[in-house]
A = this chain, B = another copy of it.
Amino acid sequence: MDEFDDLLKLDLQICFPLYAASNLVTRTYRGVLEPLGLTYPQYLVLLVLWEADSPQSVGSLGERLHLDSGTLTPLLKRMESAGLVRRSRDPKDERRVLVALTDEGRALKAKAARVPETLFDAFGMSAEDIEALRDQLQDVVRRLSKRDVPAKPGDSGPKAG
């Protein structure tokens, strides 16, 4: 049992509790969102649209939520067939697809009023502790997002340099 073994121990790693906590949170949301006919990522899309109160492109939704079109396109189609959003090509740039709330999608905001409160209770932590943890996680997201960006043409790639 050496230091190398320690590094491979589950309890000593940060990534596993992050992964497990995320799964547990999504599971907790399930029970709360199912009565609204929503999944957690669908709820996230609505949070963005409710806050912006203007149509958002698939790309800007993806940038905000760190998701790509491979995830968002089928998800948005399901939300569209559920009557929550409308999808239409942007007349200014026909490559873009704009996602807009329907009246039904807007109305769902009132029904989601208790969702944050319910999740807060599930955490069972003080508001201060939650805010502190949130800030640290936002920092992690910022740090890991940087390496997200694909290499620029000018950069020397893995084979170059």
Residue contact A25 to B19, C-beta cutoff 8 Å: yes
Q: Is A69 an interface residue (CB 8 A)?
A: no
Residue contact B66 to A20, C-beta cutoff 8 Å: yes
Main secondary structure of the interface of A (DSSP, over half): helix
Chain B residue contacts of A50, Cβ below 8 A: 8
Residue contact B28 to A44, C-beta cutoff 8 Å: no
Closest to A10 in B: B47
Q: Is A125 an interface residue (CB 8 A)?
A: yes
Q: Say how far A7's CB is from chain B's closest CB, in angstroms.
A: 4
Considering only residues 1-58 of chain A, those with a C-beta below 8 Å from chain B are 4-5, 7-29, 40, 44, 47-48, 50-51
CA distance in complex: A24, B140 (Å): 9
Interface size class of A (residues with CB under 8 A): 35 or more
Q: Is A157 an interface residue (CB 8 A)?
A: no
A interface list, Cβ under 8 A from B? 4-5, 7-29, 40, 44, 47-48, 50-51, 64-67, 109, 112-113, 115-117, 119, 122-125, 129-131, 133-134, 136-141, 143-145, 147-148
The 3 closest A-B pairs by CB, nearest first: A22-B22, A17-B137, A24-B144
